[in-house]
Copies of this chain bind each other. A is one copy, B any other.
């Protein structure tokens, strides 16, 4: 692999921004970050793996909920510092608040309005933890 083909993790202190897009609907499900380790793990396992800034470690999305994200395709941008991963989402949703997509709030006028319906009970899945 040449340098030209690598992801550039240098601009965001070792991270790249990752957009997760549902391969069926093209909805953006969530935005996260990968470091080199999480990126490599994603490639090797075919399951989207993020780096958690708050917990300071990599985590396979869905490792606790079972709502994993299977990689369908990966794209990177001109600067190679961001990734779009199209996925097949396992389970009813990716959001720890019980929604299919984390982007369940739409700006209407001067307010953010919840426009989506919950697809699962976060209490049942996460037992109160995220």
Contacts and interface: CB of A to CB of B under 8 A. Distances in A.
Interface of A: 1, 4-5, 11, 17, 19, 21, 26-28, 30-31, 53, 73-80, 82, 84, 95-97, 99, 102-107, 110-112
Counted per complex, copies of this chain come to: 2
Given A28-B84, A112-B5, A78 B96 contact: yes
B111 A84 contact: no
A120 to B, nearest CB: 14
A95 to B, nearest CB: 5
Nearest to A75: B103
Given A19-B31, A26-B26, A28-B19, A11 B77 contact: no
A41 B97 CA distance: 30
Contacts of A79: 102
Contact of A77 (B30, B82, B111): B30
